[in-house]
C-alpha cells in the first residue's frame, strides 16, 4: 500500500515551509476565539445582543476573507473598536500544539532541513502563540505574510518570499491546512504539498481533499525513537 510517507523522498527535500494555525497548532483556539469568544465580548463591549453581534461579525469576516486584512489584528481592532490582542489573551490557555509536532520538528532538525514558518497570522498573534508553546525554538525562521505585504493565497507572496528566503521549489515541502494557499504554492512550483485532515481537533475530519492529507506528522517522517520533552 502506497502511503504519503513512501511518496516523500527526504533526500530530495532541502526546505520545509510550515503553516502555523491548523497545521502545527490546533485550529480550535482560533475558531473558538473568532466564532465564540469574540462575538460574546463584542456584544458586551458594544451593548448589543449576542445574535446581532454574531451576524454583524460574520458579515464583516466574509467581506474580506482571504485578504491580508482578514488576518490582521490591527485591522480588526480598528474595525470593531475592540482590543483583539487583549481579547485573545483571555483565552490563550486554549492554544495547543498538534500531536507529534515536537518530534517532527526535531526530526527535521537532525535531518538538516531548513525549517521556516510561513504564516498569514499577524505578528501580534504569532507572539501570543510562541509565548504559549515555545514553538519558535524549533524553527530556523518565521515569516508572516504581513511582513511581505501579501497573503499566502496570492502569487505575489511566493515571489516576495523567494527574495528573502531563497529556495528551490522542486526541493521544497510545504504543509498547510488551507486549500487555496496550497493551490497558490502549487502554481508557484512547490513540488511537495501536504494538508491536514482535521485542522480543528473539535471538528470532524475533512475528506475528499485536493492534496495528500495526514492526521498527524508521524505519518510522514520516521519518528520512532524520537522523544522530545
**Which pLDDT score, from 0 to 100, does residue 1 have?**
41
Average pLDDT of span 183-210: 97
97-151: pLDDT as tens digits: 999 999 999 999 999 999 999 999 999 999 999 999 999 999 999 999 999 999 9
* Number of C-beta neighbours around residue 115 at 10 A: 18
From the options 3.30.450.30, 3.30.470.20, 3.40.50.1000, 3.90.1150.10, give the CATH code of 4-26+96-219. 3.40.50.1000
Nearby residues of 9 by Cβ (< 8 Å), 6 or more positions away? none
153-192: pLDDT as tens digits: 999 999 999 999 999 999 999 999 999 999 999 999 999 9
210-227: pLDDT as tens digits: 999 999 999 998 887 666
State the average pLDDT for the chain.
Answer: 95
18-71: pLDDT as tens digits: 999 999 999 999 999 999 999 999 999 999 999 999 999 999 999 999 899 999
Element (H, E) at 116: strand 114-119
**Which pLDDT score, from 0 to 100, does residue 229 have?**
56
Residue 149 grid coordinates: 505585504
Structure pTM?
0.94
Average pLDDT of span 200-205: 96
Domain map (residue ranges) of the chain: 4-26+96-219, 29-93
Beta bridge partners of 18: 117, 175
Nearby residues of 83 by Cβ (< 8 Å), 6 or more positions away? 77
**Which pLDDT score, from 0 to 100, does residue 7 have?**
77
Q: Is residue 13 pLDDT above 80, yes or no?
A: yes
Query: Distance (Å, rounded) from C-alpha 75 to C-alpha 78?
Result: 5
Q: Is residue 95 pLDDT above 70, yes or no?
A: yes
Amino acid at each position: 500500500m502506497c502511503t504519503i510517507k513512501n511518496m516523500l523522498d527526504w533526500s530530495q527535500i532541502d526546505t520545509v515551509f510550515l503553516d502555523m494555525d491548523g497545521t502545527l497548532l490546533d485550529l480550535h483556539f482560533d475558531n473558538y476565539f473568532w466564532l465564540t469568544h469574540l462575538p460574546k465580548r463584542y456584544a458586551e463591549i458594544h451593548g448589543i445582543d449576542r445574535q446581532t453581534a454574531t451576524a454583524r461579525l460574520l458579515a464583516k469576516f466574509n467581506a474580506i476573507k482571504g485578504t491580508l486584512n482578514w488576518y490582521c489584528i490591527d485591522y480588526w481592532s480598528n474595525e470593531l473598536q475592540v482590543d483583539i490582542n487583549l481579547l485573545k489573551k483571555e483565552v490563550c490557555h486554549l492554544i495547543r500544539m498538534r500531536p507529534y509536532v515536537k518530534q517532527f520538528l526535531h526530526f527535521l532538525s537532525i535531518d538538516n532541513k531548513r525549517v521556516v514558518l510561513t504564516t498569514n497570522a499577524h505578528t501580534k498573534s504569532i507572539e501570543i502563540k510562541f509565548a504559549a508553546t515555545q514553538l519558535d525554538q524549533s524553527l530556523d525562521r518565521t515569516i508572516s505574510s504581513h511582513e511581505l505585504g501579501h497573503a499566502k493565497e496570492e502569487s505575489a507572496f511566493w515571489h516576495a518570499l523567494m527574495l528573502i528566503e531563497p529556495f528551490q521549489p522542486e526541493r521544497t515541502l510545504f504543509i498547510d491546512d488551507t486549500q487555496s494557499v496550497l493551490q497558490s504554492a502549487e502554481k508557484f512550483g512547490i513540488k511537495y504539498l501536504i494538508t491536514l485532515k482535521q485542522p480543528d481537533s473539535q471538528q470532524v475530519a475533512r475528506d475528499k481533499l485536493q492534496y495528500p492529507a495526514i492526521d498527524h506528522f508521524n505519518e510522514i517522517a520516521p519518528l520512532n525513537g524520537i522523544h522530545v520533552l
